[in-house]
Amino acid sequence: MFIVNVEGAIYKDNQWLIIERSKKEEHAAGLLSLVGGKVEQEGNTTDILERTVQREIFEEVGIKVKENLTYIHSTSFITDTGEDVVNIVFLCEYESGKASAKSKDEIESVHWMTSQQIENHPYAPSYLKESIILANKIITTMKGC
């Protein structure tokens, strides 16, 4: 089966909250990434993806995002250790808190970055850039309403 992973593209003041993954991580060590994590088994439940991304964001970087999450896209990939993953990315609006790396085993550092900074960063993988491009399109559409 698949591991189900969720990520939050967190937006505030024309910048994105980006983490540098720990060099200790088994997958994508040292690369830039959105904040997120694996969905845990909860039995019969609702809004598991949304709750998971909100929980992971708070646990990993200590901030809260607003309740209204917007689906961006989903992908699948195989980790560096051979595990199949389904990844779902949500657009999240910052609500409160000061972002910091809560677990050095998972996160080296956190950064608020513009789309251009992400696009030009040598450690920004193509899938991160794609998520930011798609998130920007959604924001542009929302502002046009």
DSSP letters of the chain? Answer: --EEEEEEEEEETTEEEEEEEPTT-SSSTT-EE-EEEEPPP-SS-SSHHHHHHHHHHHHHH--EE-S--EEEEEEEEE-TTS-EEEEEEEEEEEEE-----S-TTTEEEEEEE-HHHHHH-TT--HHHHHHHHHHHHHHHHHHH-
pLDDT in tens, 51-102: 999 999 999 999 999 999 999 999 999 988 899 999 999 999 999 999 999 9
State which residues form the domain around 104: 3-144
pLDDT in tens, 88-140: 999 999 999 999 999 888 899 999 999 999 999 999 999 999 999 999 999 99
CATH number at residue 69: 3.90.79.10
For the chain, how many structural domains are there in total?
Answer: 1
